[in-house]
Amino acid sequence: MTAPLRQGELAEPTVVKVALGARAYDIVIGRGLIASLGSRIKALRPGARVALVTDETVARHHLAAAETSLKSAGIDSARVVVPVGEGSKSYATFESVCEAIIAARIERGDLVVALGGGVIGDLAGFAAASVRRGLDFVQVPTTLLAQVDSSVGGKTGINSRHGKNLIGAFHQPVLVIADTALLDTLPTRDFRAGYAEVAKYGLLGDAAFFAWLEKNWQDVFAGGQGSGSFAREHAIAVCCRGKAGIVARDERETGERALLNLGHTFGHALEAGCGFSDRLLHGEAVALGMALAFDFSARKGLIAAAEAARARAHLAGVGLPTHLKDISGGAPGLDQVMELIAQDKKVKRGKLTFILVRGIGKAFIADDVDAAEVRAFLAEQYR
Ligand SMILES: NC(=O)c1ccc[n+]([C@@H]2O[C@H](COP(=O)([O-])OP(=O)(O)OC[C@H]3O[C@@H](n4cnc5c(N)ncnc54)[C@H](O)[C@@H]3O)[C@@H](O)[C@H]2O)c1
Ligand SMILES: [Zn+2]
């Protein structure tokens, strides 16, 4: 047994490797890692200057620690602070971030550092991909969603008026530093929404991890030291290992990477139907979408009803929505949801692509799902 650490003390971090040949990188996971940001960057790119991109809320909580660490390693940094929220994944904010990076005289060989949640990672990553035809960048994810999902895998981008993430690039980071202590300041609702993506890794491909989560989720939420020590770090590491493996085998999503969309077809439609508002956060939509994907799989006879009930029970147990009636203000209408599903995943001769399951940990890509069958299933959910 490892002795419990005191607050601020640094344990040996966990390192997950993303094997992408010349573009391989490490994901370093541990409590208190932000203090080592400067020394890690210095080791990776001696002499590099840094543009630190963040949002106003994250700046309030964690910018000082990041800047102190850079400064103590002798690294010159410029800060770029954008407004909070999905609205910053816009042309206007993208322009201001690119201009700020250029104004700070960040050149090839220097680094962009994304300090924030998925919004900052996507925005700063896309700016890094674009300025001077590509600058290297480091992800310092500060939400659970970003630590287990968006900071890994190189998808970057902003939103179009036609839909989310329609303008972007694949641009892998050169390093990901996931400091699990940064999540202590995250509102519980955001943490819980990110947890849906954690559960997703168990549900899609790792039944043993799902069983572990059923036993240990409270320690993942508590996250600190003491009796729950390292549960959070362990969970994040398992997810990153899962995603790193999938990304290494299918970087551009021509196959297996689509499994990461478990719960996202139903989820995206519900999220969009709620106007991407506070009524339903992304992770909440994914939880509900996964519950629906399991139920739909049961309805098709792919899994036992009890298995679908087990998946739902865990998600509901942590406080995530799993029924349409759980959506505050009510679910969007059936016609709208069906239309949004059709938009999200192109319909080919009435057939839709869904991620379905043959059991907990056994997701697969089904590309011949009958739209009429989905509609009939969803109609039952409104009763
Ligand atoms: N690139 C990918 O592969 C990928 C994957 C999944 C999601 N995404 C994108 O990620 C975005 C969602 O990410 P998100 O959920 O992290 O949202 P977010 O970045 O908006 O963060 C959520 C909220 O938490 C605040 N916050 C962040 N860190 C905090 C901290 N440590 N303490 C206190 N508050 C903190 C933020 O200011 C914000 O208000 C979406 O735009 C989505 O499209 C991208
Ligand atoms: Zn997601």
Kindly identify the ligand whose nearest atom is closest to the C-alpha of 155. 1
Predicted local distance difference test score (pLDDT) of residue 225: 58
Q: Judge whether 55 and 29 are in contact, CB under 8 Å.
A: no
Q: Which of 75, 82, 63, 80 has its CA nearest to residue 110?
A: 75
Ligand nearest to the CA of 355: 2
- The whole-number pLDDT of residue 226 equals 54
Distance 151 CA to ligand 1 centre (A): 10
Average pLDDT over residues 224-248: 86
Q: 200, 282, 314, 345: which is the annotated catalytic residue?
A: 282
Mean pLDDT of 205-221: 97
Q: Angle 96-44-39 (CA atoms, 0-180°, nearest 5)? A: 90
DSSP secondary structure letter of residue 141? E
Q: Structure tokens of 239? A: 């997810």
Q: Mean pLDDT score of the chain, rounded to an integer? A: 94
What's the pLDDT at 383?
85
pLDDT band at 3 (very low <50, low <70, confident <90, very high): very low
Answer yes or no: 264 catalytic.
yes
Give the N- to C-terminal CA distance of the chain in Å, as an integer: 51
Select which of 56, 214, 253, 256 is catalytic: 253
Residue with tokens 């641009």: 171
The Å distance, Cα 270 to ligand 2 centre, comes to 13
pLDDT in tens, 176-186: 999 999 999 99
Answer whether residue 60 shows pLDDT above 50: yes
What does the pLDDT read at residue 343?
84
Within 10 angstroms of residue 353's Cβ, the number of other Cβ atoms is 18
pLDDT per residue over 268-283, tens digit each?
999 999 998 999 999 9
**What does the block give as tokens for 277?**
């508002």
Residue 1 pLDDT greater than 80, yes or no: no
Kindly tell me if the per-residue pLDDT of 162 is higher than 90: no
Q: How far apart are CA 265 and CA 66, in angstroms?
A: 37
Task: Tell me if residue 323 is catalytic.
Answer: no
d(CA 192, CA 211): 18
Q: Examine the residue annotation and report whether 234 is marked as an active-site residue of this protein.
A: no
pTM over 0.85: yes
Residue located nearest, by CA, to atom 9 of ligand 1: 118
Say what the pLDDT of residue 5 is: 47
In contact, 142 and 182? CB cutoff 8 Å: yes
Annotation marks residue 216 as catalytic:
no
Residue 380 burial (10 A CB sphere; 0-12, 13-18, 19+):
exposed
Paired with 348 in beta bridges are 351
* 380 Cα: distance to centroid of ligand 1 (angstroms): 33
Sign of CA dihedral 168, 169, 170, 176: negative
Is 257 annotated in the active site? yes
> What residue ranges line ligand 1, CB within 6 angstroms?
55, 57-58, 61, 84-86, 89, 116-120, 122, 142-143, 145-146, 149-150, 153, 155, 164-165, 182-183, 185-186, 190, 282
To the query of whether residue 165 is one of the catalytic residues in this protein, the response is no
Å from CA of 194 to ligand 2 middle: 8
| Cα Rg of the chain, angstroms | 21
Residue 224: its pLDDT value, please? 67
- Nearest ligand to the C-alpha of residue 198? 2
Residue whose CB lies within 8 A of the most ligand 1 atoms, among 18, 81, 145, for a mutation test: 145
Residue 148 per-residue DSSP state: I
Q: Pick the ligand that lies closest to the CA of residue 286.
A: 2
pLDDT confidence bin for 349, thresholds 50/70/90: confident
Shortest-distance Cα residue to atom 22 of ligand 1: 117
Q: Is 309 exposed, middle or buried (0-12, 13-18, 19+ CB in 10 A)?
A: middle
Residue with the nearest Cα to atom 30 of ligand 1?
186
**Percent of the chain scored above 70 by pLDDT?**
95
Residue 338's CB: how many other CB atoms inside 10 A? Answer: 18
Residue 16: which of 212, 175, 223, 144 has the closest Cα?
175
Residue 26 CA to its chain's centroid (Å): 17
Nearby residues of 24 by Cβ (< 8 Å), 6 or more positions away: 17, 18
CA of 131 to the centre of ligand 2 (A): 27
268 is catalytic: yes
| pLDDT in the model for residue 238 | 97
When pLDDT is cut at 50, 70 and 90, the band that residue 346 belongs to is: low
Tens of pLDDT, residues 61-119? 999 999 999 999 999 999 999 999 999 999 999 999 999 999 999 999 999 999 999 99
pLDDT band at 223 (very low <50, low <70, confident <90, very high): confident
Dist. CA 33–CA 309, nearest whole Å: 38
| 289-311 confidence digits (pLDDT tens) | 999 999 999 999 999 999 999 99
Residue 2: its pLDDT value, please? 43
pLDDT of residue 312: 98
> How far lies 355's CA from each of 4, 42, 294, in Å?
40, 42, 10
Instruction: Give the orientation angle of helix 282-299 with respect to helix 371-381, to 10 degrees.
Output: 110
Give the Å distances, CA to CA, from 274 to 304, 312, 333: 31, 22, 10
